[in-house]
Structure 1
Amino acid sequence: MVFDFGYRLRELREQKNMTQVQVAKRLNLSKATISGYENNIKTPSLEVLKHLAILFEVPTDYLLGFENRKMLIIEGLTEHQQEILIKLIYEFKKNKS
């Protein structure tokens, strides 16, 4: 299976319920540029790639297709909330085996 950057980008945008215009405004780009990325006509610069990763809360490796695992961003949670999530993840992984 060939990796499709544009499809992944569109998928992330739709998961955030954002339009191409909204993404473009957040990154100070044009809607046509975002459309070009999603249709694999244009390739984002490293700087734009970094900002896309921050906006969609995924690692750049995920955007580029090197990594297919999803990440859970815990930034902004209290220390207690982070501890609870870590314990839950540990329990789910433990029960999986």
Structure 2
Amino acid sequence: MIADKIKMLRESKNLSQTDLAKKLGITRSSVNAWEQGFSSPSTGYLVELSNLFSVSTDYLLGLKQNESLDISGLDTEQMKILYELTEHFRKENHK
């Protein structure tokens, strides 16, 4: 589960395994091992990953199924538009 989330988040930021490894100061093979499920990141790396990808550690660990989105810096109208769009997608997914 964590393996899939790390890979999905890495790809969503258009990062290669090498790019992510450099940001974390580890080897590419360590990132690969995480994504293949051969090993799991330590607590310290979980925190770094959550900060890098703007998600909670609970989300990475599969304890919480929803993601968070940083909307700081948006005005009220922009936040309203995002909320309405989110609700639209939820309704579409439940048809």
**Structure 1 segment 1-97 matched on structure 2, within 5 A:** 4-75=1-72, 77=73, 81-91=74-84, 93=87
Q: Displacement, 1:90?
A: 4.9
Aligned residues: 88
For residues 26-84 of structure 1, the C-alpha deviation after alignment (integer angstroms, 9 at most, x for no partner) is: 01011011011111111111110000011111111111111111211124x2xxx2423
Identity level (%): 33
Normalising by the residue count of structure 2, what TM-score does the alignment of the two structures yield?
Answer: 0.79
**Secondary structure in 2 aligned to 1:84?**
helix
Task: Give the TM-score normalised by the residue count of structure 1.
Answer: 0.78
